[in-house]
Amino acid sequence: MTLSAWWRHAAIYELYVQSFADGDGDGIGDLAGVRARLPYLADLGIDAIWFSPWYPSPRSDAGYDVADYRSIDPAFGTLADADALIAEAHALGIRTIIDVVPNHCSDRHRWFQAALAAGSGSPERERFWFRPGRGPGGDLPPNDWRSIFGGPAWTRTTTPDGTPGEWYLHLFAPEQPDFNWASPQVRQEFEDILRFWFDRGVDGVRIDSAALLTKDPALPESEGPSPYTDRDDVHDIYRAWRTVADKYPDRVLIGEVWLPDAARLARYLRRDELHTVFNFPYLCCPWDAAELRAVIGSTLEFHAAASAPPTWVLSNHDVDRHVSRYGRNDTSFGLDRRDHSQPVDLDLGTRRARAAALLTMALPGAAYLYQGEELGLWEVEDIPDELRQDPIWHRTRGADPGRDGSRVPLPWSGLEPPFGFTTGEPWLPQPKEWRELTVEAQSAEAQPGSMLALYRRALRIRRAEFAAAAMTWLPAPGGVLAFDRGGVACVVNLSPAPVELPAGEILLASGPLSGDPVSGDRASGGLLPPDTSAWVRTVSR
Ligand code: GLC
């Protein structure tokens, strides 16, 4: 492992397959759609794609309910399509990362079907968490655990004669039974799955729900320390996975670890475990200079101690898009408090999202982009109830609006939905206002200040200027973040008043500078208005 390993400073694009581009007109994005749009991604300037799960799945949780880990969902294509896609991406200099979902599978997975058929006490059931119920007749679930998607975390089975049987554990939807990671077969199986994909040329793995895999075998009630979040024994799994990954050159293991405690998070980055983890404290942080500075500082600190590269992420398929978050009164985010009842100022949110993009792309380490953020898409909050798909919305009976609003298919071209996404009916409806946000509209020469143009330029400059440069904080007034990366200053103004920029050449600005109403990008000198960022070359080369 060298300090120049690609994943240490990559720009990684999260591609949510069913919403990216549809190649066959069924309204669901697919691998043919991705292959046709690879030149778009190469031109955007990203280094790698992370694909949301592409395996066969009944899609009770948008593919995070995997029925077969070694194949491709027929709605997306075939294994041969995936092989071709991996090769074509490589030819364009783009690496591929797949999503591995080890906490649970689909209830249609052959192991779970076999477990249901084999009955209680069978070795087949040992790969999951089957338990008798409590109370008279076993009518009560084995313990009080709640599903992360709402409702109890246990569902009762029915025996072949129609009588109620044992219960099984699912931390997410009932269609997502949890694996029992104490089973050597489960461990063996996932190590084989990693090899299967590494052998096919994938460059990395994003590990879904990475902190939840192991459970307290006594299955105690949920009061006190969590019996399933971030247990010490989960790390044995990642040590074994690292041994597998290290047999291949340049592969990366990326953990989806939602933990507020930096010290606990850092444990996943130990030398013989994962290479990187997502930085959710940064994503959840409000648009506030002091709070952002604190999160950035603590991120840098604990990653330096772990000799791991920091990562930066503003949006993904589980959270409200940041254009909307930053346009609300409360600009912070929490998975357990999605709130679509607040008014959203989209102009303000977009201005801040542009500024945040330059902040994110100037920070040292890897940056994650979620498809559509380069177009400035917002959270679609008004999807009709009957079209909503997210189990969170269904299981909370709408109390939690869920995640569909961040998963709406991309607008590519044209003036009407489906905006070139499909020739059919998109699986979620697109707002008609997105006609101004299509790739086509934002690529027009008359739109040099579009969000897409900003991302293209920022990614190019990032690659050329920032890859290896150290970061140093610069003195700045209250409400302003300023730091240097190898002679380029990144200044972000979160205060309500304009601030003076350092002298130098303005490489890029997220919006017009005061005194130059024409174009932020080409402006030079002057004042940086509120909610705006700029990259300024302060040391001539
Ligand atoms: C992760 C995924 C999310 C999914 C959940 C269960 O958090 O990002 O989309 O619903 O795991 O697999």
**pLDDT, tens digit (0-9, with 9 covering 90-100), for 199-209:** 999 999 999 99
pTM to 2 decimal places: 0.97
C-alpha–C-alpha distance, residues 496 and 484, integer Å: 23
Q: Is 208 a catalytic residue?
A: yes
What's the confidence (pLDDT) of residue 293?
A: 98
40-66 tens-digit pLDDT: 999 999 999 999 999 999 999 999 999
Atom of ligand 1 nearest to the CA of 103: 12
Q: What is the DSSP letter of 501?
A: P
Nearest CA to ligand 1 atom 4: 64
**pLDDT score, position 281:** 96
Tell me how long the chain is.
541
Q: Is the CB of 172 under 6 A from ligand 1?
A: yes
Determine whether the shortest distance from the Cβ of 147 to ligand 1 is under 6 A.
no
* Ligand 1 centre distance from Cα of residue 228 (Å): 16
Task: Output the CA 350–ligand 1 centroid distance in Å.
Answer: 27
Is the pLDDT score of 524 beyond 60?
Answer: no
Atom 9, ligand 1: residue with shortest CA distance: 318
Both tokens assigned to 137: 């007749």
Residue 135 CA, ligand 1 centroid: distance in Å? 32
8 A C-beta contact, residue 417 and residue 426: yes
Residue 101 CB–ligand 1 contact under 6 Å: yes
For residue 481, give the H/E element and its range.
strand 480-485
- Residue 234 has a CB neighbour count (10 Å cut-off) of 22
Measured at the CA of 262, the angle between CA 259 and CA 266, to 5 degrees, comes to 95
Tell how far the Cα of 541 is from the centroid of ligand 1, in angstroms: 46
Atom number in ligand 1 closest to CA 258: 7
Dihedral angle, C-alpha 71, 77, 83, 86, nearest 10 °: -110
pLDDT of residue 2: 61
Q: Report the pLDDT averaged over residues 386-415.
A: 97
Per residue in 354-363, pLDDT (tens digit) is 999 999 999 9
Residue to mutate (ligand 1; options 208, 254, 313, 403; most atoms within 8 A of CB):
208
Active site residue 256: yes
Lowest mean pLDDT among 275-279, 299-303, 465-469, 502-506: 465-469
Radius of gyration of the chain (CA): 24
Distance 2 CA to ligand 1 centre (A): 31
Of the candidates 384, 454, 371, the residue with the CA atom closest to the CA atom of residue 411 = 371
Kindly give the number of the ligand 1 atom that is closest to the alpha carbon of 64. Answer: 12
Q: Is the CB of 390 under 6 A from ligand 1?
A: no
Atom 3 of ligand 1, residue of closest alpha carbon: 318
- Given 22, 73, 166, 256, which residue is catalytic? 256
Mean pLDDT of 78-92: 98
Q: What are phi and psi of 38, to 5 degrees?
A: -55, -40
State whether the beta carbon of 208 lies less than 6 angstroms from ligand 1.
yes
Ligand 1 in reach of 370 Cβ (< 6 A): no
CA of 162 to the centre of ligand 1 (A): 32
Evaluate: CB of 64 within 6 angstroms of ligand 1. Answer: yes
Ligand 1 atom at minimum distance from 61 CA: 10
Is residue 422 lining ligand 1, measured as CB closer than 6 Å? no
DSSP class per residue in 450-476 = SHHHHHHHHHHHIIIIITT--EEE---
Ligand 1 within 6 A of CB of 209: yes
| 313 within ligand 1 shell (Cβ under 6 A) | no
Task: Evaluate if residue 518 carries a pLDDT over 80.
Answer: no
Q: From the CB of 318, is ligand 1 less than 6 Å away?
A: yes
- Ligand 1, atom 12, lies closest to the CA of 64
Q: Which atom of ligand 1 is nearest to the CA of 172?
A: 6
pLDDT digits (tens, 9 = 90+) for 176-234: 999 999 999 999 999 999 999 999 999 999 999 999 999 999 999 999 899 999 999 99
Counting ligand 1 atoms within 8 A of each CB, the residue from 318, 338, 392, 396 with the most, and so the one to mutate, is 318
Q: Is the pLDDT of residue 522 over 50?
A: no
pLDDT on residue 540: 81
Of 208, 373, 465, 484, the catalytic one is 208
Please state, in angstroms and rounded to a whole number, the distance separating the CA atoms of residues 107 and 105.
7
Q: What percent of the chain has pLDDT over 70?
A: 97
Q: Is the pLDDT of residue 523 over 50?
A: no
What is the number of other CB atoms lying within 10 angstroms of the CB of residue 4? 9
The alpha carbon of 338 and the centre of ligand 1 are apart by a number of angstroms equal to: 15
The two tokens of residue 505 are 């050449």
Summarize pLDDT for 139-151 with one digit per residue, the tens. 999 999 999 999 9
DSSP one-letter string for 105-130: --TTSHHHHHHHHH-TT-GGGGGB-E
DSSP E strands, 101-255: 130-131, 154-158, 164-169, 204-207, 252-255
> Taking 50 as the threshold, does the pLDDT of residue 353 lie above it?
yes
Ligand 1 centroid to residue 167 C-alpha, Å: 22
pLDDT of 446 higher than 80:
yes
Task: Identify the pLDDT of residue 514.
Answer: 81
Distance 255 CA to ligand 1 centre (A): 12
